[in-house]
Amino acid sequence: MSTQLSPSAACTQAWERVLPRVRGALVFLDAASAESLHWCMGGVEALLRSGALAVRALDGPAGSPRQPKAVMTVVGQPKGAVLDSLRELVLGSYFQNCLLLLTGGQEEGLRLEDQLRRWMGEDNSVAEVVHVALGWAPLAPQLLLSPALASFFPPLPADLQRLAGRPRTDRKRPATPATETELPAHLQLRARSLARALSTFLEELGLREECFAMGALSRIVAVELAADPQGKSRRKVAPHRGSLLLIDRSLDLTGAVSHHGDNLVEKIISVLPRFPGHTNDVAVNVVELTALLVGDDSSSALAPGCLAQPNDPAAKALWESMLSMKHKEAVMEVRRHLVEAASRENLPIKMSMGRVTPEQLSTYVQLFKNNLKALENHCGLLQLGLATSQTLKHPEYAKWDNFLAFERLLLQNLGETDLPKVLRQLLSMVKSHSERKENDYSPEDLLVLLVYIYSVVGEIPLDKELDAAEEELKKALVRVFCDEPKLSPLLQKITGTIS
């Protein structure tokens, strides 16, 4: 009987099957597959070591006459703008051999192969479409994220009523889509993409699933998965059995916006800036690991560090520990790993017990700075140490406990009083840009608290006092938005404006 792979091992195995096929080819990656490669194999170096001529974005520059072979990856369905990018890329190049890697939908393969050959325009051109699970980012052996679906969110009841043209008459009985056709077109496409990506991944695992769904959108995805022709064939021959539980994210908005988590990784990802082009990794400032002077000259810019270290066993082990431990234990574990690494390299480390401080972690990291061999041996570990130190020192980190305290107060008040009074309590904290001090809540913070309040309050009856409180709070928020000298990207997206 075949051995059951872990989810992260299945992701790595999928990429390992791709690597031999990139030799002598230009490789074009979309953003989601690039992020998957980052977490599975450590990045584009794996492709270059396997003989790829170059690695570019899917909308990057075309190939030259001396580059007749291309490998392209697309996570999701190649439609609309994605299909246009593929056509422009092939028409603008001199490819004679194109391999297109997709994450699902075998019925699309023949049609796309014909299109690729037509775009290449040569009778002897070779086009192949292969379906492989490349769209998953394995943060840990049992934790996968889907970068392509980072913004995929189930529609709320008010959204569905608006899309259906129905007025909101009863807050207790929200509308839910019964079939996929009741969803807007872009959600239909994403639901199908998710179902097909899941089917391809379950095939990688050799799994025949028993599927359970909670929530309207999850039920639609489950129906799509059950109807998928590729899935029907897979379930007949798959050697392993398993349960698949699909849950609408809107069923737990409270957990998504609250600050009750006591996990170091959660705080690192919330506080540090995003790694360029990625949805699930952060940029770690590694300047203090190098002797380079980074000044105004753009040529001296230094690439940031990151959390993903799949090719560094020690760093990978620490990262997995950080994911499962409580905050205080994880910080102490980071210190322990840094001390042990410094001791192995015979670096002059001064032991200290008690509370771990960001300055202490930074001091330990800087011991490696002028020792190139030690730096190379422990680069991944040092990046995790810096990520921890920079998070503990970040101004937003200090807000975490403030948010937690206020959320607990709101929860207590909601249990003792009614929603209009809680909204008026929040109204007193709405301050314009000119009035706000360092400890006051920003517009984004206020929106998070509003989502938290409405997520924990439960059923909301129609009430004139509530309508008046909501209207008062809306007007205050509009004034705050208008007073902002520059709207954040989130507020620009919400308001549909550009500062």
Q: Cα-Cα-Cα-Cα dihedral of 85, 88, 91, 93, to 10°?
A: -80
Would you list the domain boundaries of the chain?
A: 7-137, 151-256, 264-393, 403-495
The Cα 380–Cα 311 span in angstroms is 9
The Cα 20–Cα 26 span in angstroms is 13
pTM here is 0.86
Quick: pLDDT tens for 312-358: 999 999 999 999 999 999 999 999 999 999 999 999 887 777 789 99
> Is a pLDDT exceeding 70 seen at residue 6?
yes
Backbone angles phi, psi at 282, to 5 degrees: -120, 160
Amino acid occupying residue 331: V
Write the CB contacts of 469 (distance below 8 Å, at least 6 apart in sequence): 419, 420, 421, 423, 424, 427
> Is a pLDDT exceeding 90 seen at residue 493?
no
Handedness of CA 130, 102, 305, 12 (dihedral sign): negative
Measure the CA angle with vertex 376, ends 371 and 382; round to 5°.
Answer: 90
Helix or strand run (H / E) with residue 15:
helix 7-18
The residues pairing with 209 across neighbouring beta strands, listed in sequence order, are: 242
> Is a pLDDT exceeding 50 seen at residue 363?
yes
pLDDT for res 293: 41
Amino acid occupying residue 60: G
The Cα 69–Cα 98 span in angstroms is 6
> Is a pLDDT exceeding 90 seen at residue 106?
no
What is the full DSSP assignment across 354-408?
SS--HHHHHHHHHTTTT-HHHHHHTHHHHHHHHHHHHHHH-HHHHHHHHHHHHHH
Per the CB < 8 A criterion, the answer to whether 257 and 452 are in contact is yes
pLDDT for res 164: 61
Helix (H, G, I), strand (E, B) or coil at 372: helix
Residue spans of beta strands (DSSP E) within 366-450: none
Backbone angles phi, psi at 438, to 5 degrees: -60, -35
Q: Are strands 240-247 and 143-145 parallel, antiparallel or unpaired?
A: unpaired
The Cα 267–Cα 401 span in angstroms is 11
Per the CB < 8 A criterion, the answer to whether 211 and 225 are in contact is yes
* CA-based max dimension of the chain: 76
> Is a pLDDT exceeding 90 seen at residue 181?
no
Report, in angstroms and rounded to the nearest whole number, the Rg of the chain calculated over CA atoms.
26
DSSP letter for 239, please: S
pLDDT for res 173: 45
Helix or strand run (H / E) with residue 139:
strand 137-140
| Residue among 258, 165, 291 nearest 448 (CA) | 258
The Cα 298–Cα 276 span in angstroms is 17
If pLDDT is split at 50, 70 and 90, which confidence band does 63 have? confident
The residues pairing with 54 across neighbouring beta strands, listed in sequence order, are: 26
pLDDT for res 168: 47
DSSP letter for 2, please: P
Q: Around Cβ 345, how many Cβ atoms within 10 Å?
A: 16
> Is a pLDDT exceeding 60 seen at residue 464?
yes
Write the CB contacts of 121 (distance below 8 Å, at least 6 apart in sequence): none
Which is higher by pLDDT, 358 or 109? 358
What is the full DSSP assignment across 288-326?
GGS-----S-GGG----B-S--TT-HHHHHHHHHHHHS-
**Mean pLDDT (the chain, rounded):** 86
> Is a pLDDT exceeding 80 seen at residue 395?
yes
Handedness of CA 145, 151, 155, 156 (dihedral sign): positive
Helix (H, G, I), strand (E, B) or coil at 238: coil
Domain 7-137, CATH: 3.40.50.2060
pLDDT for res 300: 52
User: Which segment of 154-158, 315-319, 375-379 scores lowest on mean pLDDT?
Assistant: 154-158
CA 359 to chain centroid, in Å, comes to: 30
| Residue among 328, 325, 322, 302 nearest 381 (CA) | 322
Write the CB contacts of 191 (distance below 8 Å, at least 6 apart in sequence): 180, 183, 217, 220, 221, 224
